[in-house]
Amino acid sequence: MKHVLKVKIYYEDTDCGGVVYYANYLKYFERARTEFLESRGVSLKKLMQDGIYFVVAEASLKYISPGRYGDIFLIGTEIDKVGPASIIFRHEVSREETGEKIVNATVKLGCVGQNRKPIRLNNEIMDAVSEKI
């Protein structure tokens, strides 16, 4: 099941040429994953209070077309694969006005405890991310 987040591009998001700075996509993906999980009942704040954290283990981005100041992006987020202690997300960024593809990405998150060592995904997380893969 895909989740879609709208992101408006402000001047602060761009470089001196008015093009979205490449590293900002990672911030947009973080927001999109948070909204994805929270839409399925997983509170990252509660997980953190319980000593459960997600860390980015890998990220792969393909830049297709430049995003620009004033654009509104639709960021589609879905689960690609779930492991015992990891989740791989797929992200697709498109321009709302035209549907033009901007960026495709995969991001692998590892689940870790307070000691930052890997831990298994608990049942709450597994139920939320395994739904309709």
Residue that is written with structure tokens 């947009």 in the block: 28
- Rounded CA-CA distance 73/78 in Å is 16
* HSE-CB for 67 with a 13 A CA cutoff: 34
- Rounded CA-CA distance 126/122 in Å is 6
Tokens coding 113? 């405890």
Identify the three-state secondary structure at position 33: helix
Provide the terminal-to-terminal Cα distance of the chain, rounded to the nearest Å: 6
What angle (nearest 5°) sits at the alpha carbon of residue 2, between those of residues 102 and 87?
90
| Residue 15 annotated as catalytic | yes
Selecting among 13, 15, 71, 80, the annotated active-site residue is 15
Residues forming the active site: 15
